[in-house]
């Protein structure tokens, strides 16, 4: 009596979906004898495919936004009146004015440690060293760059304050400077010239100056967001450019109120920042919607068959129906990666070039 077949439908499924589908199969093919690799299968299948050796890649394409990365807010730390703001799109470098309060500048410096206290003679710490490195880079001398704020440092600060048109106190107030990792690009204004400021009030937002793509992934897809992982960015004109994952962070979208008192619930997302290898290919685009293709997994030099060729075996596991002329036999296989409608298979009785049955 011929054994019964049960096949997967020919869908291009991800590994997780295919495994879930396979788990629901309760009946398939039973082997006629003890040799699992040579069991009879019955009539010739309606269609066939070839066992292929290839690099199998599981990819996922998602929407992204080309811009300059996630904006940060420059908040006021001095009470007064905003008297100057740069135009949006302006690039500010070390020592440059971000904005002015009471006609005195708030200055950009480079560093990762935020300004959090007054610097004056007697102060010691990493923030002192960070500030002194900036002072030296701006061309001021006569002091040692270390973690001690000395009288010599204060003399150099007076020279710096004179250049800026500030009172020459030799002390540095935390509200007078803002640290960033490098040059910044003004993204938007949160205050207008003439507005009164209070500590904590946003004045403007800024980003880095490098062109970046920002992508939001569902938490279930965070496996894609490995730092340094290669991606492909598809541009609006269908051109593409290679990129890589620079960073990933978990964010919470707080949701918003809706019509008729309805509201959307907060969602947790993974925000991914992607850099591109050839920024010149982005010429002509300021901000635009793009597509980003992530590679979730890759298996080089493996045997593959269409997912639809798989048979769920009554004894457990999976097999394929190998076609030899007008006869067929069931061969047990071990499955690996599922991607693009194909599945990685291995086993002692499966080889490249074999013909396997598939549904019509």
Q: How far apart are CA 151 and CA 317, in angstroms?
A: 78
Tokens 């190998």 locate to 322
Buried b (16+ CB within 10 A) or exposed e, 45-74: beebbebeeeebebbeebebebbbbbbeeb
Packing angle, helices 126-137 and 151-164, rounded to 10: 50
**Residue pLDDT, tens place only, 282-317:** 988 878 999 999 998 899 999 999 999 999 999 999
Q: How far apart are CA 59 and CA 48, in angstroms?
A: 26
- Mean pLDDT is lowest, of 30-34, 64-68, 70-74, 178-182, for 30-34
- When pLDDT is averaged across residues 96-112 and rounded to a whole number, the result is 97
Banded model confidence at residue 264, pLDDT cuts 50, 70, 90: low
**Residue pLDDT, tens place only, 216-249:** 999 988 888 899 999 999 999 989 999 999 999 9
DSSP letter, residue 191 = S
For residue 260, what are the contacts with CB-CB under 8 A and spacing of at least 6?
A: none
- When pLDDT is averaged across residues 277-284 and rounded to a whole number, the result is 89
- CB atoms closer than 10 angstroms to residue 294: 23
What pLDDT does residue 266 have? 80
Banded model confidence at residue 39, pLDDT cuts 50, 70, 90: very low
Give the DSSP H or E segment for 130.
Answer: helix 126-137
What pLDDT does residue 70 have? 87
Domains of the chain (ranges; CATH) run 15-57+298-358 (2.40.420.20), 61-68+210-297 (2.40.30.170), 81-186 (1.10.101.10)
**Residue pLDDT, tens place only, 142-169:** 999 999 999 999 999 999 999 999 999 9
Taking all residues of the chain, what is their mean pLDDT, rounded to a whole number? 87
Q: How far is CA 157 from the centre of its chain?
A: 41
């Amino acid at each position: 009596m011929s054994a019964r077949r049960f096949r997967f439908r020919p869908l291009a499924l991800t590994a997780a979906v295919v495994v879930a589908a396979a788990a629901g199969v309760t009946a398939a093919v039973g082997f006629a004898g003890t040799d699992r690799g040579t069991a009879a299968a019955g009539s010739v299948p309606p269609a066939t495919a070839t066992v292929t050796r290839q690099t199998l890649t599981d990819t996922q394409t998602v929407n992204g936004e080309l811009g300059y990365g996630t904006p940060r807010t420059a908040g006021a730390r001095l009470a007064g009146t905003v008297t100057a703001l740069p135009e949006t799109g302006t690039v500010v470098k070390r020592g440059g004015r971000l904005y002015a309060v009471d006609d005195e500048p708030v200055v950009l410096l480079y560093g990762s440690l935020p300004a959090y206290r007054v610097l004056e003679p007697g102060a010691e710490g990493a923030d002192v060293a960070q500030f002194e490195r900036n002072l030296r880079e701006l061309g001021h001398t006569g002091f040692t760059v270390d973690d001690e704020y000395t009288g010599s440092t204060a003399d150099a600060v007076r020279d710096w304050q004179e250049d800026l048109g500030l009172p020459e106190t030799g002390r540095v107030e935390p509200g007078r400077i803002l640290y960033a990792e490098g040059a910044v690009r003004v993204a938007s204004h949160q205050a207008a010239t003439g507005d009164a400021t209070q500590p904590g009030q946003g004045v403007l937002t800024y980003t880095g100056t490098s062109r970046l793509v920002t992508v939001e992934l569902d938490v279930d897809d965070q496996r894609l967001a490995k730092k340094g992982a290669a991606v492909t960015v598809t541009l609006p004109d269908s051109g593409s450019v290679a990129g890589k994952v620079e960073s990933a962070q978990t964010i919470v979208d707080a949701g918003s109120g809706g019509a008729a008192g309805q509201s959307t619930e907060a969602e947790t997302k993974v925000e991914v920042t992607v850099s591109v290898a050839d920024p010149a290919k982005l010429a002509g685009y300021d901000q635009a919607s793009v597509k980003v293709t992530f590679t979730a997994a890759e298996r080089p030099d493996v045997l593959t068959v269409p997912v639809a060729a798989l048979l769920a075996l009554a004894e457990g596991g999976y097999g394929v129906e190998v076609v030899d002329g007008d006869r067929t036999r069931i061969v047990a296989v071990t499955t690996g990666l599922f991607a693009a409608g194909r599945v990685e298979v291995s086993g002692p009785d499966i080889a490249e070039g074999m013909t396997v049955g598939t549904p019509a």
